[in-house]
Every structure is written in C-alpha cells, then in structure tokens.
Amino acid sequence: MRERTRLDSAISGCREIERELEDTVELIELAEAEGDGAMVDEGVQVLEKLAARAREKEIESLLSGEADASDCYIEIHSGAGGTESQDWAEMLLRMYLRWADRRGFKTEIIHYSPGEEAGIKSATILVRGENAYGWAKTESGVHRLVRISPYDSSARRHTSFASVWVYPVVDENIEVTIEDKDLKIDTYRSSGAGGQHVNTTDSAVRITHIPTGIVVACQNERSQHKNRATAMKMLKARLYERELQKKEEEAAAAHAQKSDIGWGHQIRSYVLQPYQMVKDLRTGIESSQPDKVLDGDLDPFLAAALAARIHGENAVATAAAVAGEERGRGRDG
C-alpha cells in the first residue's frame, strides 16, 4: 500500500503539471491575441513555477533505490579538537534538524552526548518522512568548518572536523540476522545538560557488533529494555546500509563510475572566515551564503550529490545549474 500510494502521488503530480502547462499556454496565447500584457506576464510567472516543480519531480525520480523511501538515522560525531569540533558537531545537528523541518519531516533525538564545555561529542537523530533516507544518504562523510574561533581569546582562525553517517530504518519485511555471540552490550548512565536528557539510572545502552566494529547507542528512554530494543533496530539498520553500500560500489565499479570520494572522507567545506563559502568537494556546488546552508538550506547540495551518485559525473553540470537557479531565486527573494 505504501508503494502504491507513492506511485499514485508521483503520477498524479506529473499529470497535474501537464494539465496546468496546457492551460497556461492557452491562456498566454489568448492574452497575446488580445494584447493583454499583464495577463501574459502572469502566465509567464506561472510557467516559471511549473518549471521549478518539474525540476523537483525530476530529482524525486532519482530516489528509486532499495531503501530510499525509508526513514533514516543521522549520526554526528565530533572530530579531534575538543571544544571546537564539539561545537561544530552541534551546529551540524541543528542544521539537519532545520533541514528536516523545512521538508516536513519529523525528527527525534535518539542519542545525545554533550561536550565538556560546549557542543556535543555525538548525537543520533531519527528522521521520519517520505524518502528521508533517499534525500539524506549522500551526507555521509566528513564535514569541515573554517572560522574565527569564539573560544580563542586571540581570535585565530581554526579548522574543525565532524563526521556524519546516514543509514536507513530497516523495514519489518527485511530480515537481518545477528548472532548474540557477535554482540558486546554495555549499559551506562545517561548524561546531559538537563531536560529530556536527565537520567539517574544506568538505562542507556551501547551495543558493539564485534565482526564489523559498528557501535550504536541509545539513551532516549528511561527504560533500559526500550533503549536496548531501539539500539538493536539501529544496529540492524547500520548492517543493512552496509550491504546496500557494497551493492552500490559493485554496481559503480561495473559501470566504471566509481568515485574516489569514499565513505568517511571529507565531502564539504564550510568557510566562515576570511570569506564566506560552502563548497561540496564531490560536485563543485558552491554557495556564498553559509548562514542559509547552516540554517537547513541543503537541497541544492543534496540534489547535485544525488544526481552525481546515480548518473555519474555527466549529471553534475545539470545539477549545478539547477542549484544556481535555486540560489538566484533566494537572493532575489
């Protein structure tokens, strides 16, 4: 039923654009025949909006992977550098929460480990929504920040790193076998600055999958059993995503389109000083408005990375053009 609903929505959306296109073209032709310039201008504006909707549908058509329609987890970990990197990790957490809100996705913080002075050591959020994993999956990798540090009394420029990992929520119909002997389960006391993160019992759970070294943690619930169940779901999702990644790499190698940029490598730079720019190192997409990007305006970068990942380097130029139009409309607005 979910698949049918998704297909019905996609088909009806395209047909609606076709109908509106035909009606608008007829309206413009009639207005030109009558010499009504205002009506022609109004029709052109409608065409521009239809073109933007068509581009969005084109991008959505790329979300046809095995797990693209699924909800997803987004893990964020600070890199070496103490407070600087921990603050950067918290900025990324806010960015993804704002991005999800812009797209109408629901979010839930599953794991939250605060830094000693500021920021976070790590966090995991659950993102629920149609095609959540499909949109977010290209964000996995290392994100680099360059800025004048607010924690440096000498106002020197600092470079900070944080890693992001995105993996899909496993559908109940998908079986992932995990042997008990392959698991190391630790319990600990949840920590936090206050509010929902306060806990006075050893209810938080950390599970290590020994063969792969994958580690997941959950401290969202006060019940250890609930946290363990959620952590197991996250572990199954990580293992499933690992298999999906292997399949994609095999397919890419078969088509001679495998990129040198692998998982865990730097994918994007955010420069706040001495100039302002966000640049995706895989696609070349740039933005001179880092404040907007850090406020959740990620779609141009996601669309370009998604197109390049599916269609190879030939799609990057088209995606860059679309992203440029999106940024242009933002400046005009």
Q: Is residue 66 in some structural domain? A: no
- Statement to judge: residues 264 and 117 lie in one domain: yes
206 Ramachandran zone, left/alpha/beta (phi>0; psi -120 to 50): beta
pLDDT of residue 178: 81
Q: Is residue 108 in some structural domain? A: yes
Average pLDDT over residues 37-45: 91
Confidence of residue 290 (pLDDT cuts 50, 70, 90): very high
- Statement to judge: residues 322 and 184 lie in one domain: no
- Mean pLDDT rounded to a whole number for the chain: 81
CA 116 to mean position of chain CA atoms:
27
Contacts for 36 with CB less than 8 Å, ≥ 6 apart: none
- Statement to judge: residues 126 and 161 lie in one domain: yes
End-to-end CA distance of the chain: 39
Q: Are 102 and 124 contacting, i.e. CB atoms less than 8 angstroms apart? A: no
Q: Out of 67-71, 86-90, 110-114, pick the least confident.
A: 67-71
Q: Is residue 35 in some structural domain? A: yes
Query: In the listed set 215, 236, 253, which residue is the last one of a domain according to the structure?
Result: 253
Q: Is residue 172 in some structural domain? A: no
Q: Whose structure tokens read 């779609």?
A: 299
**0.75 cut: is pTM over it?**
no
Type of residue found at 228: R
Confidence of residue 164 (pLDDT cuts 50, 70, 90): very high
Q: Is residue 67 in some structural domain? A: no
DSSP string of 262-311?
Answer: -TTSEEEEEE-SSS-EEEETTT--EES-HHHHHTT--HHHHHHHHHHHHH
Residue 253 has pLDDT above 60, yes or no: no
- Statement to judge: residues 153 and 297 lie in one domain: yes
pLDDT of residue 248: 66
Tally of helices (H runs) and strands (E runs) in the chain: 8, 11
Higher per-residue pLDDT: 323 or 222 = 222
Higher per-residue pLDDT: 257 or 324 = 324
Residue 65 has pLDDT above 90, yes or no: no
Residue 315 has pLDDT above 70, yes or no: no
Q: Which domain holds residue 8?
A: 2-60
Confidence of residue 201 (pLDDT cuts 50, 70, 90): low
